[in-house]
């Protein structure tokens, strides 16, 4: 193998205006970094090809090399499985003839003679440059089926060997790698090496847009890359991660506030926001700003922020967009530190608005003013009473909400308060001109009142910054719902905010790599936030279900498998102890079925939970009340306290209790026990806790 200059090869191809390297160039390049390929030789004529074939050994493949021929098979430029000189000679003539006939004026650079690799397990290793996250690596089992079923795993590059091995475990077809009939198991270290080297190649060469190693044929402890494709792009960004900002006190927890566009008319947003800040009990000075002056909601109004008597920490802006640049000039003059811009009519309405937004941003930057919005539904901090949004949602709790959608920024707190969870902050990002998810996650990582961070986002153009923020904050669970994951959804994203929506796969991989958790729907986001805020993170995947409803038990089993939880059979030991404390009719399995008799003998729950928690066989517990059982808070009290001490989460599903159920669910949640309306919802939430545990522990290993 001759040594080549990687950059020179790439530059030469780009110089010739090519979008991709020739296959032999691609193989030269990957060989250079130690990737194993089939043997190959670029030949200029038939005699050279025959002698190359002798060197390589029959059978061989022939492939045309030409800048005009992208799809070699379609052009008749490929011959496979050639067994001898005579066949080679005929095939050689044939493919030259084919290509000349099908591609008029074709410039033939030669014919590539390649080793035919013996069949074995085929995998694909690929790399792409994601618009949000930069270089990303993919692994899958090869073949048209994988391509169609999309059974692949992604990581943002660079990655190490451990992470590469994990990728292999994530694909559905991972059993293929573990040895099927007649095929030895794959040495994962060999594959991991290929993945890691491909990752480095991408990271170190910004002019490579994509790499396909497809197929890579794996033989036990060795592998051969049969075909390699290297696509060129512009010299990309250097992918430096911007540091997330955490100087957001002024917009999230200001000491004083002016409402610019405050109104005396109750229908106006500028009235509602002022009233909500007052109703929420904001303790600092509040200055309504309105050109007409006068008095609004009992407060003196000022014609301009410049007229206010003292310092103003933050402003909330609701005036029409055309006035906002002027307002921002005054804010800078006044020394304001943060602005929540509710007004729409910026990037959301097209290029002219985008220009206006740029002007506002530039002015703000001059004065160090941080901006939430514009075109957003505001910020709500129920702790300090800075509830610059509408409607007002009261109820302090440990969950912070960050949302690109105003509706979700209000729905989430409202739902959490109804469930006796409450919230610490809710921020609607709108156009995200300045402060973004990463900045907020970073700030909330240090916020005392926040223990869980729930995010709705439609994507980011600073993926690495987001990863950094999630990584730093990940002592607190960061739960992310990504809107625009499917093709149809992606189109809507472009229409909505103009933000970049990359593929959902890379986004999810990036979040998981950083120790965050991606959820699948808005309900799951809220259900998971409730679990994380009320319960300790489990130490393992083992779930025990204690139920009075056999049906709910069966649905729990179905859901556990989906959620990746382990519903293990009870040990003989625990069964013996349960037999001592429970009546004979109980079904001593997992789920542990107390039967409908638990309605008249609810004390069985207490007895069963005591044994279950003492056994050490449950990393988490789901209690199902399947009958109108009263006094559940008292029934579970001791068990829940003991479980919390042991770090075992206990969730509840309540079914079939009609009126009693409503009272009990409320009381249980008030006492800090999360209740779900179906067994599947409870288990999905517990499943996310388990995923977080896995991400966090794998994270600790790195």
CA-to-CA separations, 395 to 401, 408, 429, in angstroms, rounded:
13, 17, 21
Structure tokens at 357: 């937004």
544 contacts its own copies (rule: CB under 8 A):
no
Residues 308-347 that bind its own copies (CB under 8 A): 344
The smaller minimum CB distance to its own copies, of residues 173 and 241, is found at 173
Taking CB under 8 A as the rule, does residue 630 contact its own copies? Answer: no
Under rule CB under 8 A, residue 448 binds its own copies: no
Among 109, 451, 496, 642, binds its own copies (CB under 8 A): 496
- Binds its own copies by CB under 8 A, chosen from 377, 419, 442, 474: 377
Selected from 77, 602, 657, 687, the binder of its own copies by CB under 8 A is: 657
Interface with its own copies by CB under 8 A: which range of 12-20, 27-35, 138-146, 206-214?
Answer: 138-146
Is residue 665 a contact point for its own copies (CB under 8 A)?
A: no
| Sheet containing strand 370-372, strands side by side | 286-289, 257-260, 314-317, 338-341, 370-372
Asked if residue 537 binds its own copies (CB under 8 A), the reply is no
CA-CA-CA-CA torsion for 273, 275, 277, 278, nearest 10 degrees?
Answer: 170
Residue 643, both tokens? 């479980």
CB-based contact 303:328 (threshold 8 Å) = no
Nearest distance in Å: CB 375, its own copies: 8
CA dihedral over 527, 528, 531, 533, signed as positive or negative: negative
216 binds its own copies (CB under 8 A): no
Distance CA(691)–CA(702), nearest Å, equals: 17
Q: Report the residue from 521, 571, 576, 697 that binds its own copies according to the rule CB under 8 A.
A: 521
The reply on whether position 379 binds its own copies by CB under 8 A is no
Radius of gyration of the chain (CA): 31
Distance CA 55, CA 39 (A): 9
Q: Is 372 in the site for its own copies (CB under 8 A)?
A: no
Looking at the Cβ atoms of 250 and 316, the one nearer to its own copies is 316
| Sign for the pseudo-dihedral over CA of 262, 321, 484, 379 | negative
Give the whole-angstrom CA distance, residue 290 versus residue 270: 10
* Nearest Cα to Cα of residue 555 among 624, 656, 628: 624
Residues within window 95-124 making contact with its own copies, judged by CB under 8 A: none
Q: Which stretch binds its own copies (CB under 8 A): 203-211, 469-477, 505-513, 676-684?
A: 676-684
CB of 657 to its own copies, least distance (A): 7
Determine phi and psi for 303, rounding to 5 degrees: -65, -30
Residue given tokens 């992310």 in the structure block: 480
Out of 464, 476, 485, 542, the residue judged to bind its own copies by CB under 8 A: 485
Binding string, residues 497-516; x marks residues near its own copies by CB under 8 A: x-------------------
Residue 691 CA to its chain's centroid (Å): 12
Cβ distance to its own copies smaller for residue 45 or 101:
101
Strand partners, 289: 260, 302
Nearer to its own copies, 13 or 99 (CB): 99
Q: Given the complex with its own copies, which of 19 and 145 has the nearer CB atom?
A: 145
Q: Work out whether 391 is an interface residue with its own copies (CB under 8 A).
A: yes
Residue 67 interacts with its own copies (CB under 8 A): yes or no = no
Looking at residues 236 to 275 of the shown chain, list those that interact with its own copies (rule: CB under 8 A). Answer: 267, 269
Q: How many residues sit in the footprint of its own copies (CB under 8 A)? A: 97
Closer residue to its own copies (CB): 29 or 479: 479
**Residue in 38, 198, 533, 595 binding its own copies, rule: CB under 8 A:** 595
Instruction: Kindly tell me which of 227 and 458 has the beta carbon lying closer to its own copies.
Output: 458
Nearest to 115 by CA among 55, 31, 43: 55
Query: Using CA atoms, how far apart are residues 624 and 556, in angstroms rounded to an integer?
Result: 10
Q: How far is the CB of 676 from its own copies (least distance, A)?
A: 10
Asked if 137 contacts 198 with a C-beta cutoff of 8 angstroms, the reply is yes
Q: Can you tell me the distance from the alpha carbon of 344 to that of 335, in angstroms, rounded to the nearest whole number?
A: 24
Q: Which is nearer to its own copies, 91 or 403 (CB)?
A: 403
How near is the Cβ of 403 to its own copies at its closest, in Å? 7
- 558 belongs to the binding site for its own copies (CB under 8 A): yes
Among the listed residues 409, 416, 444, 640, the single contact to its own copies using CB under 8 A:
409
Please tell me whether residue 645 binds its own copies under the rule CB under 8 A.
no
Q: Does 553 bind its own copies (CB under 8 A)?
A: yes
397 binds its own copies (CB under 8 A): no
* CA–CA dist 613, 637 (Å, integer): 13
SS3 content of the chain, % helix, strand, coil (to 5): 45, 20, 35
Q: Is 22 in the site for its own copies (CB under 8 A)?
A: no
CB of 269 or CB of 469, closer to its own copies: 269
Question: Helices (DSSP H) in 16-154: which residue ranges?
Answer: 23-32, 46-56, 85-102, 144-149
Tell which residue, 341, 345, 411, has the closest CA to residue 377.
341
Q: Which of 241, 349, 354, 667 binds its own copies (CB under 8 A)?
A: 349
Q: Which of 414, 615, 671, 698 binds its own copies (CB under 8 A)?
A: 414
8 A C-beta contact, residue 452 and residue 477: yes
Q: How far apart are CA 473 and CA 479, in angstroms?
A: 11
Q: Which is nearer to its own copies, 43 or 415 (CB)?
A: 415
**Where would I find the beta strands (DSSP E) of 373-432?**
379-381, 386-388, 396-403, 423-428
């Amino acid at each position: 193998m001759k040594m080549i200059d990687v950059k020179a090869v790439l530059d030469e191809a780009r110089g010739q205006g090519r979008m991709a390297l020739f296959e032999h160039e691609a193989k030269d390049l990957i060989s250079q970094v130690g990737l194993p390929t089939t043997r190959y030789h670029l030949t200029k004529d038939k005699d050279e090809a025959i002698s190359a074939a002798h060197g390589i050994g029959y059978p061989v493949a022939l492939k045309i090399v030409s800048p005009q021929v992208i799809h070699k098979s379609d052009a008749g430029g490929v011959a496979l499985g050639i067994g001898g000189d005579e066949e080679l000679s005929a095939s050689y003539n044939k493919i030259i003839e084919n290509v000349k006939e099908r591609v008029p004026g074709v410039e033939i650079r030669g014919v590539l003679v390649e080793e035919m690799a013996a069949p074995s397990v085929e995998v694909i290793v690929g790399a792409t440059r994601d618009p949000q996250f930069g270089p990303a690596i993919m692994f899958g089992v090869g073949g048209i089926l994988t391509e169609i079923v999309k059974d692949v795993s992604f990581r943002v590059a660079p990655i190490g060997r451990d992470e590469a091995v994990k990728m292999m475990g994530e694909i559905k077809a991972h059993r293929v790698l573990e040895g099927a009939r007649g095929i030895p198991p794959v040495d994962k270290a060999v594959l991991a090496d290929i993945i890691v080297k491909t990752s480095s190649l991408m990271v170190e060469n910004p002019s490579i847009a994509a790499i396909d190693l497809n197929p890579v044929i794996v033989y036990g402890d060795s592998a051969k890359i049969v075909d390699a494709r290297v696509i060129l792009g512009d010299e990309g960004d250097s992918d430096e991660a911007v540091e997330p900002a955490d100087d957001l006190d002024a917009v999230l927890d200001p000491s004083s506030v002016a409402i610019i566009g405050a109104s005396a008319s109750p229908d106006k947003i500028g009235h509602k926001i002022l009233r909500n800040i007052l109703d929420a009990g904001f303790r600092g000075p509040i200055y309504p700003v309105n050109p007409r002056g006068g008095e609004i909601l009992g407060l003196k109004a000022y014609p301009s922020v410049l007229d206010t008597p003292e310092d103003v920490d933050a402003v909330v802006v609701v005036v029409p967009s055309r006035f906002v640049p002027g307002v921002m000039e005054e804010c800078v003059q006044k020394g304001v530190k943060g602005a929540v811009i509710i007004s729409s009519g910026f990037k959301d309405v097209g290029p002219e608005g985008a220009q206006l937004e740029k002007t506002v941003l530039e002015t703000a930057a001059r004065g160090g003013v941080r901006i939430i919005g514009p075109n957003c539904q505001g910020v709500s901090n129920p702790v300090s009473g800075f509830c610059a949004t509408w409607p007002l949602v009261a109820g302090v709790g440990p969950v912070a909400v960050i949302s690109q959608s105003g509706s979700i920024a209000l729905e989430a707190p409202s739902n959490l308060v109804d469930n006796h969870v409450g919230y610490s902050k809710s921020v609607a990002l709108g156009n995200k001109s300045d402060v973004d998810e990463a900045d907020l996650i970073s700030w909330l990582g240090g916020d005392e009142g926040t223990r869980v961070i729930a995010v709705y986002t439609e994507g980011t153009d600073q993926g690495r910054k987001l990863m950094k923020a999630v990584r730093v904050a990940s002592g607190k669970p960061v739960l992310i719902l990504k809107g625009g994951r499917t093709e149809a959804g992606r189109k809507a994203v472009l229409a909505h905010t103009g933000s970049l929506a990359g593929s959902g796969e890379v986004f999810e991989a990036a979040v998981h790599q950083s120790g965050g958790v991606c959820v699948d729907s808005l309900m799951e986001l809220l259900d998971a936030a409730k679990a994380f805020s009320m319960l300790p993170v489990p130490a393992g995947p083992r779930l025990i279900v204690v139920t009075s409803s056999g049906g709910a038990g069966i649905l729990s089993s179905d859901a556990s498998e989906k959620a990746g939880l382990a519903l293990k059979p009870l040990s003989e030991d625990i069964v013996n102890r349960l037999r001592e404390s429970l009546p004979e009719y109980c079904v001593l399995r997992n789920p542990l079925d107390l039967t409908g008799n638990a309605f008249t003998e609810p004390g069985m729950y207490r007895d069963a939970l005591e044994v279950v928690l003492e056994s050490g066989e449950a990393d988490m517990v789901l209690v199902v009340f399947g009958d109108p059982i009263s006094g559940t808070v008292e029934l579970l009290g001791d068990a829940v306290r003991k479980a919390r001490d042991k770090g075992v989460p206990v969730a509840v599903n309540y079914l079939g209790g009609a009126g009693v159920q409503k009272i009990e669910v409320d009381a249980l949640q008030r006492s800090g026990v999360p209740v779900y309306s179906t067994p599947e919802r409870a288990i999905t939430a517990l499943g996310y806790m388990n995923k977080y545990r896995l991400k966090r522990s794998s994270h600790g290993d790195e």
